[in-house]
Each structure stands twice: as C-alpha cells, then as structure tokens.
Amino acid sequence: MDDIIFNEFDGWDPDNSSAIILIGLKEKDFDNFQPDTLLFQYGLDSDDGELQNYTYSSDMNGLDIIAKHFGFDVHKNNLDGFDNLVGIFENFNLDYFWFFDGSELKYVSDYYLQENQDLVEKIINKSEFFISTVVSTTSDDESW
C-alpha cells in the first residue's frame, strides 16, 4: 500500500477479555473482510472468541453507521481529521486501530494515537469506511 510502513502488533492482554476495535478500509475491499482474520490477530478463533457489535457505535461523531452486520457495524468516513478520531478513541474507550488493505489486516495504533499521528492521518485519508467491533473471549480457558 503505497509507501506506508505499518506498526507491528505486540498482542493484547487477554485478561481484559475484550477489546474495542476500529478498522479503516476502502469500499472496494469490504467484501473481502473476514471477521475470523481479526480474531486470529488476538490469538482467538471461533471456538474461543467472537466479534460483537459495539453498543455506542451509533454515537461516534464523524462515523455514520451505514450498515449493521452480525458482530460489527460499518461506518461512512465523515471524520473532520485526526483530532476527531482521537476524540472518538478517548470518549468511547477504543483500544486499537487497524487498516484492512483487501487481503490482510495492518496494525496502525493502540489507544495512544498521538504516538503514531502521521500513520493515523494517512489511514484516515485512505479509509472510505470504518468497521467498529468488539473482540471478546468466549472461553474461561486461559490457554489462549
């Protein structure tokens, strides 16, 4: 994807049992998005994890819901820029930001978007849509 260098995802703390995720993508890539791909990034599969719709996703200013799917919502990118996204992450306690390039998920940033501002701004500009979801563990087995 152009000359963008993405960050490496170091994993998450599964003791939290869930993480609120935002994924940027282009319209042409939406049909290729597979929810199991996101679960895999968190060390889960459909036996011990699931995606859930985020309760407050309809309240995110600049991210208008255009479709609801089982486990995630699709938003039109109407963000006013970087500060708008930072406000969403702060006000709605989002945990991670990703980009889906049509074939794989690319990690952008955790909650601290300011540490990756240049990359985040590039992804905001490239994203026509966003997916909001919650990755949740469904098992008490801590082997994951």
Distance, in Å, from the CA atom of 122 to the CA atom of 133, rounded to the nearest integer, reads 21
Q: What is the mean pLDDT of each run of 10 residues along the chain (144 residues)?
A: 83 83 95 91 89 89 92 94 95 95 94 96 96 88 51
In sequence order, what are the residues at sequence separation of 6 or more whose Cβ sits closer than 8 angstroms to the Cβ of residue 86?
113, 114
pLDDT at 1: 52
Closest CA to 94 of 127, 135, 128: 135
Give bridge partners of residue 136 from the DSSP assignment: 18, 50
Rounded CA separation 103/26 (Å): 12
Q: What is the pLDDT of residue 58?
A: 86
Residue 144: per-residue pLDDT: 42
pTM of the model: 0.92
pLDDT score for 2:
64
